Amino acid sequence: MPAITVHLPRVEWKPEKVVKYIEMCKKDMGVPIFLTRYAGVPFEEEGKPAIMAKCLGGFDTVGSVYFVNVPKEVWEEVDKIRRDWEHLLLKYAPKKLEELRKKKPKEAWTFKLVELL
């Protein structure tokens, strides 16, 4: 398989760093997602599993990162599951799960729809 070149900051996979990323993304009103593959090709760094983390739909203050040295069993779990951020919090910081599930914006943001003619 062809190798995938990823141009993102590398972050060592550690439970506390994963939890911190999830918290930062949720506080930014985003949805954290963890990707194990691109176009069917598994992410890896120097032959070891890697995971790309993205914060979707927030206010864009939390950038994507590339977690490296991911334990193989964790990579396999994330590869198979949905709602991966909740699964990872349940595994690493279960007390924070309910708090972050309920995270709501402090202010109501409204957007006007532009009618296209």
Q: What's the pLDDT tens digit per position in 4-60?
A: 889 999 999 999 999 999 999 998 989 999 999 998 899 999 999 999 999 998 888
Q: Where are the chain's structural domains?
A: 10-101
Q: Tell me what the pLDDT averaged over the chain comes to.
A: 84
Query: Model-level pTM?
Result: 0.79
> Using CB atoms within 10 A of its CB, is residue 84 exposed (0-12), middle (13-18) or buried (19+)?
buried
Average pLDDT on 91-107 reads 75
